[in-house]
Amino acid sequence: MFSIKMTPRFGDTDALGHINNVVLAAWFEQARNAIFKIFDPDLRIDKKNFPLIMAHTDYDFVGQLLYKYEVEIRTWIARIGTKSMTVYHEAWQEGRLCTKGNSVIVHYDFNTEKSTPIPEDKRRLLEEHLMPGHETTGVPARPTKEPPEQLKIAGNGQPTITGNSLDEAAPTSSPARPTIPLPQAGSVVPATQRKVFVYDEKEAKKEEAIREQKKYEERRSK
């Protein structure tokens, strides 16, 4: 992590009495000088020696910054890609996080006007300032699980992992659905199974007529 202290100027305040939001862009830019020196130690800032170009910036203002207190700008490397990196900033005042933001910086050749890979020696220097839980692939580091050493069938028939630190049950396939045997060609289907295998239109109409007759007799009895 890089850290610098900023002393707010009277002119940095606005009509509402706090530090205006546009000031943070300048403060974060000044905090990036330490990163620029990794690529151009003398900060000559010319097309021949300076290989960085800004691609994106964003800011989140989560608290007010006031005139009379010093501000600390903390800076980390949040991501190191093949040809670009993401720089993360925080502005703290009196123990409060007030502003945070990101900037995406591309390793760039101003003569060819094309992005170029970050040199390995520069990458190693950037890695010294990576945020905790981040890595050079651009994806936050995730805990890895070792492959199970042994599979054991538990009493309930579910396979569980043993022999390492994993306690959860291993993924299992859904149980097979029960199958209903179909009648063989030429066999007679019992009446109790006809509704399962075939649709008998005459039988359906007959049952419907019986139901209607029962409803009619029930109404008459009332």
Domain harbouring 23, CATH code: 3.10.129.10
pLDDT at 206 (0 to 100): 77
- How much is the mean pLDDT over the chain? 78
DSSP states along 10-78: GGGB-TTSBB-HHHHHHHHHHHTHHHHHHH-TT---STTT--EEEEEEEEEE-S--BTTS-EEEEEEEE
Task: Provide the residue range defining the domain that includes 68.
Answer: 2-127
pLDDT in tens, the chain (222 residues): 999 999 999 999 999 999 999 999 999 999 999 999 999 998 888 888 899 999 999 999 999 999 999 999 999 999 999 999 999 999 999 999 999 999 999 999 999 999 999 999 999 999 999 998 765 554 443 333 433 334 344 444 444 434 333 333 334 444 455 454 555 555 554 555 544 444 566 777 777 778 878 877 777 776
Domain final position from 78, 102, 127 = 127
Which residues lie below 8 Å from residue 176, measured CB to CB, with a gap of 6+?
Answer: none
Residue 141 inside a domain? The answer is no
Q: Residues 105, 12: one domain?
A: yes
Q: CA angle at residue 137 from 133 to 141, to 5 degrees?
A: 25
Residue 134 inside a domain? The answer is no
Q: What is the DSSP secondary structure assignment for residue 164, as one 8-state letter?
A: S
Residue 137 inside a domain? The answer is no
| Cβ atoms < 10 Å from Cβ of 138 | 14
State the total domains in the chain: 2
